Amino acid sequence: EHSRIDELQRLSAIGQISAGIAHEIRNPLTAVKGFLQLIQREYDSRYWDIINSELEQAISTVQNLLVVSKPELNDESSAELNLCQLLESTLSLFDNELYRVNIEKRFYDTNSLIYGKRNQLKRALFNLLKNAFEAIEGEGSITVEHYRSDDHICLHIRDTGKGIPGDKLPLLGTPFFSTKADIGTGLGLSQVYNTFYGHNATIAVNSEEGQGTEFTIRIPLSEQSMEERMHTNLIIEKNMN
Ligand code: ADP
Ligand code: MG
């Protein structure tokens, strides 16, 4: 009989082992990425996009493992950054999927900044987008929305994929929960939740089986952007008088 304690012990053992492996694999992969960037400047090739995208997926997988098992290895300093630009560069890693999935970008506010950890956030966006692409069997579309609402940036990532059954929704973000038999690690969303909660954001999921899924993220503006906004509001009010 398998009790819940057995299961937790098993997961914890898997976590420890995979953290060790992930750490050993991450360093060489990161080194390869650096050298590839150097070579890219010298040699033009139509294969670079594929190489970069595949490498990014591998790095992302080991990073996801590290986040759940050894979060302290992921410390990174925060800075003001533009989530919109981060989205653009992350989306470009999926260019090889555009033959089957249509991407609609609705970026209403491209100037506002948030305060956060660039690499972590980029990986979180990558993990969300990867799930969206994987949910779409054959052709479909992904809509990405980015706008400002009060003191927040709102981000919507919506796909026309297969959706998530209602009874599975509470399991989202639990490490190792995956419905993808062979290719899933079940670590993507736990990285996503950890990252956004670490940035004082809220995450909401809306999904309907056979219809698609929408992730909505609300993340606070950086202090500077908040002040600028107040300033703009004051000017607008002044002009109206
Ligand atoms: P993995 O992708 O390795 O399975 P994740 O943590 O990224 O692990 O996702 C966990 C599970 O959540 C997936 O296996 C899938 O069942 C479900 N899921 C996440 N995002 C979506 C989505 N956009 N559409 C449908 N199902 C999703
Ligand atoms: Mg995933």
Ligand 1 pocket, CB under 6 A: 127, 131-132, 135, 159, 161-164, 172, 177-180, 184-189, 213
Q: What is the pLDDT of residue 1?
A: 52
Predicted local distance difference test score (pLDDT) of residue 75: 74
The ligand 1 atom nearest the CA atom of 132: 23
What is the structure's pLDDT at 222? Answer: 93
* pLDDT one digit per residue (tens) for the chain, 241 residues: 557 777 667 766 777 777 778 888 888 999 999 999 999 999 999 999 899 989 988 888 888 887 776 666 667 899 999 999 999 999 998 998 999 999 999 999 999 999 999 989 999 999 999 999 999 999 999 999 999 998 999 999 999 999 999 999 999 988 888 899 877 888 899 889 999 999 999 999 999 999 999 999 999 999 888 888 666 666 666 665 5
Ligand nearest to the CA of 173: 1
Task: Assign 3-class secondary structure to the chain.
Answer: CCCHHHHHHHHHHHHHHHHHHHHHHHHHHHHHHHHHHHHHHHCCCCCHHHHHHHHHHHHHHHHHHHHHHCHHHHCCCCEEECHHHHHHHHHHHHHHHCCCEEEEEEECCCCCCEEECHHHHHHHHHHHHHHHHHHCCCCEEEEEEEEEECCEEEEEEEECCCCCCHHHHHHCCCCCCCCCCCCCCCCHHHHHHHHHHHCCCEEEEEEECCCEEEEEEEEEECHHHHHHHHHHHHHHHHHHC
Pocket of ligand 1, candidates 131, 159, 169, 180: which has the most ligand atoms within 8 Å of its Cβ, to mutate? 131
